[in-house]
Structure 1
Amino acid sequence: MKDNTRTWKSRFKSFLLKVLLGVIVLCALTLWICSWTYSEGTRAGQLIKISEKGVFFKTNEGELNMGGLRMGNPNDGLEGNLWQFSVLDEGIIKELERAEGKRVKLSYKERYKSMPWQGETNYFITNVEVIDY
């Protein structure tokens, strides 16, 4: 009977170890895939907001008014053409705070998915350039 108990415990430990290893590999794969850059580009407009948001994870988020209007919900009519983005770098946050209310050109990288501690959007700002008229 002791041999059966030992065999059962051994199988159970082996099963748990395989499940734990699978979860670790799945988490690592998810983090790796989410760090891929989907697209890169620039957008220009008036920087209207930069703020820190979040309950558990504090992230830095902003909005850019790209000008013009777009159709929203047919019942709501026209709305402003706003673009929301996230910021990871402290230096860029400081630049954005100084440029708030001004026309800017923002370089960004778009990722497939952002983790909750990175930001609310998939767009991450990599460079800020104030546009002088």
Structure 2
Amino acid sequence: MRKFISWTLLILLLIGGGMVYWKYYFVFGEGVKSGVLNYAVKKGNLFKTYEGKLIQEGFGSNKTGTGLTSNQFEFSVENDSIYRILEVNSGKVFDLHYKEYKGVLPWRGNTRYIVDQIIQMRDLKSGSF
């Protein structure tokens, strides 16, 4: 009986660990988003994290019947050096590489999207965006 309980606990522990990994550490998707940087801030109650928002070209709708809204990409940043570049370049056009996770960890940021690289940064030219 003791052996059965030990094996059952081990299996449950492995399944639980796998579920935690899949939810919070497995990279579900990655890609590049482009847009004008609206803001980059450091905020949080217990864990201070770096957050930002890109305004993307075009219009979209979050839900049916709500009308038109701007396309916004809200993201978190783990790396201090990336945040410092974003912090002083608000209003410029960025191409940001991000990783998407299925869950949010409070010390990683407020969003499922974590920017890990700046691909390109350029000034906003008249006529675009």
TM-score in terms of structure 2 length: 0.74
Higher helix share: 1
1:102, distance to aligned residue in structure 2 (A)? 0.3
Residue by residue, what CA displacement relative to the aligned partner does 1:15-68 show, whole Å, maximum 9, x if unpaired? Answer: 9xx98x899767754553311111111011100011122212222111000111
Does residue 131 (structure 1) correspond to residue 116 (structure 2)? The answer is no
Structure whose CA Rg is larger: 1
TM-score in terms of structure 1 length: 0.72
CA distance in 1, matches of 2:90, 2:33: 15
Q: Which residue of 2 aligns with 1:4?
A: none
Distance 1:57 1:76, change over 3 A: same
Equivalent residue pairs, number: 117
**RMSD of aligned alpha carbons:** 2.5
Q: Which amino acid aligns with 1:130?
A: M
Q: Which residue of 2 aligns with 1:90?
A: 80
CA distance in 2, matches of 1:32, 1:76: 36
Does residue 36 (structure 1) correspond to residue 50 (structure 2)? The answer is no
CA distance in 1, matches of 2:110, 2:48: 10
- What is the aligned counterpart of 1:120 among 82, 106, 110? 110
Q: Which residue of 2 aligns with 1:109?
A: 99
Q: Any gaps of 5 or more consecutive residues in structure 2?
A: none
Q: Any gaps of 5 or more consecutive residues in structure 1?
A: 1-14
CA distance in 2, matches of 1:27, 1:100: 42
Q: Which residue of 2 aligns with 1:81?
A: 71
CA distance in 1, matches of 2:46, 2:102: 22
- What is the aligned counterpart of 2:53 among 60, 63, 66? 63
